[in-house]
Amino acid sequence: MSEISEFAKPFPHRSGNIAKIQYVVNWDELGVEAANRYLNLTRVMYDYMTPFVSKNPREAFLNYRDLDIGFNGHGKNAYVEGMVYGHKYFKETNYKRLTMVKTRVDPTNFFRNEQSIPTLSS
């Protein structure tokens, strides 16, 4: 993968990465207390793994969506809000390019979710 430039495709995580980690937790117990306990265990594991993952910036893989790293309300500050997670998923240069493409292809931002590429305000 390192033979392809990180700027040639939207997926930039190439050279120097040896693995992708996805944290998943499932439980059968009902109730808020159980949910909080299992989510807290996931956060403990996430914190434990921090020294072993990419830094400055910490990066993420879009297919492992993580609302803890940011979300977008798609209001007047959509581009800035999107930078929080967009730089982690796509790196800065790719995020800028993707927002320009999204603005041309979907100017009304019909296709969106909490972490989608926003359109640029007119």
Residues designated as active site: 64
Distance of CA 37 to the CA centre of its chain: 24
Query: What string of H, E and C letters represents the secondary structure of 55-73?
Result: CCCCCCCHHHCCHHHCCCC
Burial classification of residue 122, based on how many CB atoms lie within 10 Å of its CB (0-12 exposed, 13-18 middle, 19 or more buried): exposed
